Amino acid sequence: MIKIIAGGKKNSAWYGEACAEYEKRLRKPYSVEWQFMEEDKLLKYLAKWPFSGQDFVICCDERGKNISSDEYSALLSQAFVQSKNIIILIGGAYGFDDSIREKADFVWSFSKLVFPHALARVVVTEQIYRAAQIEAGSGYHH
């Protein structure tokens, strides 16, 4: 199971529909659980850093490392092999500060482009599905 903690509001229905399309295809351990928080509540929650050594925390941030889908699949796979709980953090409109990025196990940038946080949810969900398909050796990723 992958837990995605997302800041901001749920937004337009189409974002949720796009995420749901990928989610219905996912199987354990790649299935996801969402937790939504208002951005200020998310930042207060993360300031206490509620995660342990059993958690592998990925912070989505434009200042992170840009990796390929194959590398992302390997990153998730390795975390599963190590029996880690995967936590993916998606910030609100203002993203995360240095203290959050420094605590994360991996800071992931989708590209040099900046995306609205709701669209980032779709990207994260599709990339989880893609990672699962890469691991399974399917033809989805070519």
Q: Which residue has the tokens 């749901």?
A: 20
* Domain presence at residue 107: yes
Mean pLDDT of 77-92: 92
Structure confidence at residue 10 as a pLDDT band (50, 70, 90):
low
* Domain presence at residue 60: yes
Q: Residue 53 belongs to a domain with what CATH number?
A: 3.40.1280.10
* Domain presence at residue 141: no
Query: Angle 52-116-3 (CA atoms, 0-180°, nearest 5)?
Result: 25
Task: Look at 34-38, 71-75, 114-118 and tell me which has the smallest mean pLDDT.
Answer: 114-118
* Domain presence at residue 80: yes
Residue 113, domain extent: 2-136
CA 37 vs CA 43, 54, 68, 79: distances in Å: 9, 23, 29, 25
Is 80 exceeded by the pLDDT of residue 141?
no
Q: What is the pTM of this model?
A: 0.93
Is 80 exceeded by the pLDDT of residue 131?
yes
Task: Look at 5-9, 121-125, 131-135 and tell me which has the smallest mean pLDDT.
Answer: 5-9
Note the pLDDT tens digit of each residue in 30-53: 889 999 988 889 999 999 999 999
Euclidean distance between CA atoms 20 and 8, whole angstroms: 18
Output the six-digit token pair for 119: 């669209």
Q: pLDDT at position 11, please?
A: 64
Give how many domains the chain has, as a whole number: 1
> What phi and psi values does residue 28 have, to the nearest 5 degrees?
-55, 145
